[in-house]
A and B are shown apart, each in its own frame.
Chain A
């Protein structure tokens, strides 16, 4: 069933269409539109259009998305996984500004188009009476057209045709449309549409998966991974033993490293090692700190062998026994470094200076519990 949609007139020049649009607006028509192959400057003035409200939507969308993005970055950096990057504060606002700017512009632009599609073009509907008309073909290439809709309150077919002809139109057409076609409601959950969307999503996921996990490791895309150089811990045919790195020469000492010569020789340590640090206030304070951290759990805070372990682990012996008192500093140092019986060695966790400081502190404890006459004065 065909029905009249509008009367459409075609003009040859932009000047003509400006003139015609102004005249149509003056004649009191409200439901009409102008179609041109390119934006004609000044057209909105000629058509007496009110200024568009679209800009407000754009800025509202942009600012909303900007705030959401800012909150998301705050959540990531401060709530979900707080970490300091590059010595910056946990909430480095200047670093976020470019992202906020880009998000504002991107969402403002993209979502404005989406809003226009939904509000003005009634997405997902895609039928318009002007589609597939000769009029639309002409205004899409090089003509300028104006069409007055039949729904306008002043519409009268013969009058409108005569009016448009009098404005200088070289062609005036009646546009008919099929009511059934225009009124077909397209649902967003249309089977074909949903299926297509699934197809696209599946294809995208598969392609991303293949790219990131397979293709990237195939030649020639692996050119960054496979390089003509030998890395450490790698196989190499260059040396006889088939490994890429050389073993150090026997007796090599690393920089800043002091070798310990008495590993299985407590007697040698007792005889040859001398405490290189003077037991001054600072050194004893260091020793106390390290003693309380590493030694006191077993030996007790004062070294009496009264540990906090309550028998869950063999108690360490007292350091106030005559045996320990008679040991040289070197012997105590050896025991701290290498361990004794169930006591482990501490040379990996406590530095050399700290071990000697602990020795000084143990000596201080021994002296404190067995003070001499002159210490009291």
Chain B
């Protein structure tokens, strides 16, 4: 509230050692075991690759969205964390590493790439103008190029503002965030439809993109919270960042936990109520052969537990509780993606029931390694606070 200008004392500092100490081994183990997995069981590996891709897109693309959200809403409280979100958006650049193996193994994963199947199936034939290999790759590349463009524009503007302190940059950022929102909404829907929904090409759900987005937002926020907490305890951030800021982060994670349940239940209830075979067949494999326990556990893991963890006001301010909730939300998102993708693996490979083993773990290790190492690459030797932002003073004086 105070209008008198405070001098912000910010000194650059090395990133916490954990990023490389855990990131590099995870990345190396991930890469080696993933290569082995592709040798050993290419089909299962490619399905796990999709899970890893969806998680990394959530973390990276979600972070770019958080940046744009701050600009377009004119948010003040989140200014000290915007640079972290921008660096986190850099993780999105790793997605081609995960997408290229999928594109090379498309035949194993996507039923609609089989020409003989498509020609004999009127539904798939009608969908083939959209679901074909060339357009699929074009869409993926298009979303990647657009998002990367916006990411670099935000990064460049933000870094420039560190020295110019210009109000004009803030205005330009708000202006370009409006078209970004449109591209982001379309882009994340396309990714959800292409990589997750088209695993069952006969199925359709118009809410599917929003379902994925709900998990994406919570996950991006959780990763942002974790990085913020670790940077704060290492002294990379300003000392003025306090429980009021944490409260807002916890509040957003809480909100999008509830929002995910809202979307997931909306999707489920409409399909359950109408009871049309064209729609229900997607849920049926998730209700038999052991998947029924995982489906019920999904409600518990992705909604009830994080909801309970973050419900109390104090728990949204308490760093250790926030850390626990963030880890939980990231884990729940991985679990959710597993639940989305793996029943299709059962169908394509003829196995029954959920599978879990070193292949699944190796891809989780790879995603974790990518997130840590790419954040390190992006944030190394950079300011972690947008010190030139005109809103920074007000943001540090933020009270709930």
- Establish whether residues A94 and B1, one from each chain, have CB atoms under 8 Å apart when the complex forms: no
Q: Is A18 an interface residue (CB 8 A)?
A: yes
Q: Mark A73-87, 1 if CB is under 8 A from B, else 0.
A: 000000000000011
Quick one: which of A42, A45, A51, A86 contacts B1, CB cutoff 8 A?
A42
- In angstroms, Cα B269 to Cα A87, docked, is 15
| Chain B positions within 8 Å of A87 at CB level | 275
Q: Which residue of A lies closest to B313 (CB)?
A: A51
- B269-A41 in contact (CB<8A): no
A14 in the interface (beta carbon within 8 A): yes
Least CB distance from A95 to B in Å reads: 7
Q: Chain B residues with Cβ under 8 A from A230's Cβ? A: none
Contact A95 B273 (CB under 8 A): yes
Chain A window 25-44, contacts with chain B (Cβ cutoff 8 Å), 1 for yes, 0 for no: 00000000000000011100
Cα A306 to Cα B265 with chains together (Å): 64
Say yes or no: is A15 at the interface (Cβ < 8 Å to chain B). yes
A330–B311 Cα distance when bound, in Å, is 81
Interface residue from A42, A51, A55, A95 paired with B399 (Cβ < 8 Å) = A42
Complex: chain A residue closest to B265, CB-CB: A97
- A251 CB within 8 Å of chain B: no
Interface string of B312-326 (1 = CB under 8 A from A): 111000000000000
- In the complex, chain A residues 346-364 whose Cβ is within 8 Å of any chain B Cβ: none
Q: A14 touching B1 by the CB < 8 A rule?
A: yes
On chain A, which size bracket covers the interface? 10 to 19
Closest B residue, CB atoms, query A13: B1
Cβ-closest chain B residue relative to A18: B1
B interface, how many residues as a size bin?
A: 10 to 19
Of B273, B311, B313, B400, which one neighbours A94 at CB under 8 angstroms? B273
Q: Are B269 and A94 in contact (CB under 8 A)?
A: yes
On whether the beta carbons of A41 and B268 are closer than 8 Å, the reply is no
Query: By the criterion CB–CB under 8 Å, are A15 and B1 in contact?
Result: yes
Contact with A along B284-317 (1 / 0, CB 8 A): 0000000000000000000000000001111000
Instruction: Name the contact of B269 in the complex, choosing from A14, A18, A55, A98 (C-beta under 8 A).
Output: A98
Residues A97 and B2 in contact, CB atoms below 8 Å apart: no
Number of A-B contacts (CB under 8 A): 32
Contact (A45, B272) CB under 8 Å given A55-B313, A97-B265: no
Smallest CB–CB gap between A236 and chain B, Å?
39
Shortest CB-to-CB span from B6 to chain A, Å, is 14
| Residue interface bits B246-290, CB-to-A below 8 A is 1, else 0 | 000000000000000000010011001101000000000000000
B275 to A51, Cβ gap below 8 A? no
- Shortest C-beta distance, A341 to chain B (Å), equals 53
Chain A min CB distance to B232 (Å): 19
Closest chain A residue to B273, Cβ basis: A95
Q: CB-nearest residue of chain B relative to A42?
A: B399
Q: Which of A41, A86, A95, A98 contacts B400 (CB 8 A)?
A: A41
**Smallest CB-CB separation from A55: which chain B residue?**
B313
Q: Are A94 and B2 in contact (CB under 8 A)?
A: no
Taken residue by residue from 117 to 143, chain A's Cβ proximity to chain B (1 for < 8 Å, 0 otherwise) reads as 000000000000000000000000000
**Chain A residues within an 8 Å CB radius of B400:** 41-42
A1 to chain B, nearest CB (A): 42
The minimal Cβ–Cβ distance linking A12 to chain B, given in whole angstroms, is 14
The chain A residue with its CB closest to the CB of B270 is A94
Residue numbers in A under 8 Å from B272 (CB-CB)? 94
Q: Which residues of B contact A86 (CB under 8 A)?
A: 273, 275
Q: Which residues of B contact A41 (CB under 8 A)?
A: 1, 398-400
Contact A97 B399, beta carbon cutoff 8 Å: no
Beyond the given pairs A14-B1, A45-B399, 5 more chain A to chain B contacts, judged by CB atoms under 8 angstroms and listed by A's residue number, are A15-B2, A41-B1, A42-B244, A51-B314, A94-B269
A residues neighboring B (CB under 8 Å): 14-15, 18, 40-42, 45, 51, 55, 59, 86-87, 94-95, 97-98
Between A and B, 8 residue pairs with Cβ closer than 8 Å are A15-B2, A42-B244, A45-B399, A55-B313, A59-B311, A94-B269, A94-B272, A95-B273
